[in-house]
Amino acid sequence: NAGVTQTPKFQVLKTGQSMTLQCAQDMNHNSMYWYRQDPGMGLRLIYYSASEGTTDKGEVPNGYNVSRLNKREFSLRLESAAPSQTSVYFCASSGFPGQGNKGTINEQFFGPGTRLTVL
Amino acid sequence: RKEVEQDPGPFNVPEGATVAFNCTYSNSASQSFFWYRQDCRKEPKLLMSVYSSGNEDGRFTAQLNRASQYISLLIRDSKLSDSATYLCVVNRGTNAGKSTFGDGTTLTVKP
């Protein structure tokens, strides 16, 4: 199992450009998350999806949109990138134990991250 | 006040030392607690869950004090490989989107 995968690993954008960060998990998890991590800081939740077909705002949603394409995939879109969005973006997933799900309750599994620089 | 606060660190300790990190949380309704480890420029990974009765995993011991609203992580006999940032995570419920991460405490173990 690959766990949680993210693409791309690195990206440089100019102010005003748009892009979509892709995330997929193969652990049969219902919930998926997008976080950003700025230098020396913890993770801040941008958006999450408790289950397929639902999405909700987290702590810092402004400037972002998300799509839960299916149970496996959860994408994050920056419509008009700004330098303040320079950060490392992590996707994560979690599920309830049993039912073929990996992990304990509320345990989140993270992807390797996307390092985004907006000039 | 932040919902989850950790010792600011950094902690620089010699190999073999015992080191303890504390984390306080403000929401008394919090239900589950975790310590994650994050290596430089890598993704966070679960180190251990924290149970009310306390739990131990090898050299690592986690404790929860609900009355005082803090959790702790004790690392005994520190190894060079323990050098990382340790993140405290608090869940306000069992539903998705209820996790809050602390800013992390950085540990450097030196020979």
Give residue-wise pLDDT tens across range B51-62. Answer: 888 899 999 999
Q: State residue A102's pLDDT score.
A: 59
CA angle (A54, B102, A22) in 5-degree steps: 40
Contact of A85 with A76, CB cutoff 8 Å? no
Token pair listed for A93: 């997933």
- Residues of chain A whose beta carbon is less than 8 angstroms from a beta carbon of chain B are 30-31, 33, 35, 40-45, 48-51, 56, 58, 88, 90, 94, 103-108, 110-113
**pLDDT confidence bin for B7, thresholds 50/70/90:** confident
| A51 to A94, B86, B91, B104: CA distances (angstroms) | 10, 29, 18, 28
Q: State residue A107's pLDDT score.
A: 84
| B34 to A49, A67, B16, B61, B98: CA distances (angstroms) | 21, 28, 24, 12, 13
Contact of B48 with B60, CB cutoff 8 Å? yes
Per the CB < 8 Å rule, is B97 touching A112?
no
In one-letter notation, the amino acid at residue B111 is P
In the predicted model, residues of chain A with pLDDT beneath 70 are 97-105
- Say how many CA atoms lie within 13 Å of B111 toward its Cβ: 0
